[in-house]
Amino acid sequence: MKFPKPYKLKDIAKIIGSEFVGPANFPVHGMNEIHVVEPGDIVFVDHPKYYDKALKSAATIVLINKEVDCPEGKALLVSEDPFRDFNKLTKHFQPFKSSSVSISDSAKIGHNTVIQPNCFIGHNVVIGDNCVIHSNVSVYDNTIIGDNVIIHAGTVLGGSAFYYKKRPEGFDQLLSGGRVVIEDNVGIGASCTIDKGVTADTTIKRGTKIDNLVQIGHDTIVGEKCLIASQVGIAGCVVIGNEVTIWGQVGITSGITIGDKTVISAKSGVSKSLEGNKHYFGIPAEDFRTKYKEIANIKQIPEILRLLKEKQ
């Protein structure tokens, strides 16, 4: 998430009430999670296991809960609770704004686009030309929708990320300040949910078609001309290549990459990155050749046990 203008390090420290290490006028341009940071961004880290990764990332400002040696060319914001203070920045720069109308006055809706009754279109939403938004669709603030997009009834675009920190009193949610971006010629079925990015974009690229009852998590990128069947669940921060086919009830864990032209059969569980141009199935998902060998070997177990018994 980029700020509306560059800020000084001392100004950001004042917003969250933290100490800082580095020049008071050090430039700050935005804030992002570690997998999408760029120079000028703030990244937060609150566990020693990840200090090194954050300090060596592309981010030039590190929000951290311990005063450490500051890498050359970077700055630190030292806070007792970086998670809390990252949320403070999200609230400051991307605050929730209530709405009293079904379609916000700040929404931009393209030529020949049809919005059926009982839809909600939030602040700063952009919808392109020749789209059809069926009844009871909710499009949260800042969502971007391209041309020739069809969205069926009951779908929600822009819900908050399922991202929590466990505390003694319960779970504390990391606030979402990102967006959902739907490119041209995308089709989205009924009762789908696509969560916005925590600080960046959840993106569905052009030509992709999504069936009913599909969940797509925060900051995930779905490539061009993919097919995703009903009841698929995709966690956050997944990168899916182009022309991937995912059949019904597949579950995909967070932070992995699925290569171009992959096919994943129904009910598979994907727990690691998958190489493209292959067909996978099973739990955990493996390529067909490997999985069929496993099944063939399992079928031989009764015969092996019988032979062992005869030798005794």
Q: Crossing angle of helices 82-93/9-16, nearest 10°? A: 110
* Same domain for 161 and 33: no
Domain that holds residue 75: 2-93
* Same domain for 242 and 116: yes
Q: What is the pLDDT of residue 137?
A: 98
* Same domain for 122 and 89: no
* Same domain for 283 and 153: yes
What are the angstrom distances between the C-alpha of 84 and each of 22, 66, 133?
22, 15, 37
* Same domain for 226 and 139: yes
Q: What is the pLDDT of residue 276?
A: 97
More confident residue, 109 or 67: 109
Of 178, 235, 163, 202, the closest CA to residue 31 belongs to 178
| Sequence-distant (≥ 6) Cβ neighbours of residue 40 within 8 angstroms | 6, 27, 28, 29, 30, 60, 61
Q: Please list the residues that pair with 157 across neighbouring strands.
A: 139, 194
Amino acid at 240: I
Q: Look at residues 93, 126, 158 and tell me which one is the last residue of a structural domain.
A: 93
Catalytic residue IDs: 218
Q: Look at residues 42, 67, 93 and tell me which one is the last residue of a structural domain.
A: 93
Residue 46 pLDDT > 90 = yes
| Helix intervals (H) in 56-152 | 82-93
The region of weakest confidence among 24-33, 38-47, 105-114, 290-299 is 290-299
pLDDT class for 29, splitting at 50, 70, 90? very high
Query: Residue 56 falls within a domain, yes or no?
Result: yes
* Same domain for 118 and 75: no
Query: Residue 7 falls within a domain, yes or no?
Result: yes
* Same domain for 273 and 133: yes
Taking residues 70-83, report their average pLDDT.
97
* Same domain for 114 and 45: no
Of 67, 63, 65, 64, the closest CA to residue 89 belongs to 63
* Same domain for 238 and 162: yes
Domains identified in the chain, total number: 2
**pTM, entire model:** 0.93
Residue 109: count of CB within 10 angstroms of its CB: 17
> What are the tens digits of pLDDT across the range 194-248?
999 999 999 999 999 999 999 999 999 999 999 999 999 999 999 999 999 999 9
Scan for tokens 């779905």, then name that residue.
222
Taking residues 16-33, report their average pLDDT.
97
Query: Residue 297 falls within a domain, yes or no?
Result: no
Q: What is the distance between the alpha carbons of residues 197 and 88, in angstroms, rounded to a whole number?
A: 17
Q: What is the DSSP letter of 65?
A: S
CATH number reported for the structural domain that contains residue 187 in this entry: 2.160.10.10
Query: Residue 310 falls within a domain, yes or no?
Result: no
CATH number reported for the structural domain that contains residue 45 in this entry: 3.40.1390.10
Q: What is the pLDDT of residue 308?
A: 86
Query: Residue 101 falls within a domain, yes or no?
Result: no
Residue 312 pLDDT > 80 = no
* Same domain for 262 and 174: yes
* Same domain for 114 and 85: no
Query: Residue 309 falls within a domain, yes or no?
Result: no
> What are the tens digits of pLDDT across the range 92-151?
999 999 999 999 999 999 999 999 999 999 999 999 999 999 999 999 999 999 999 999
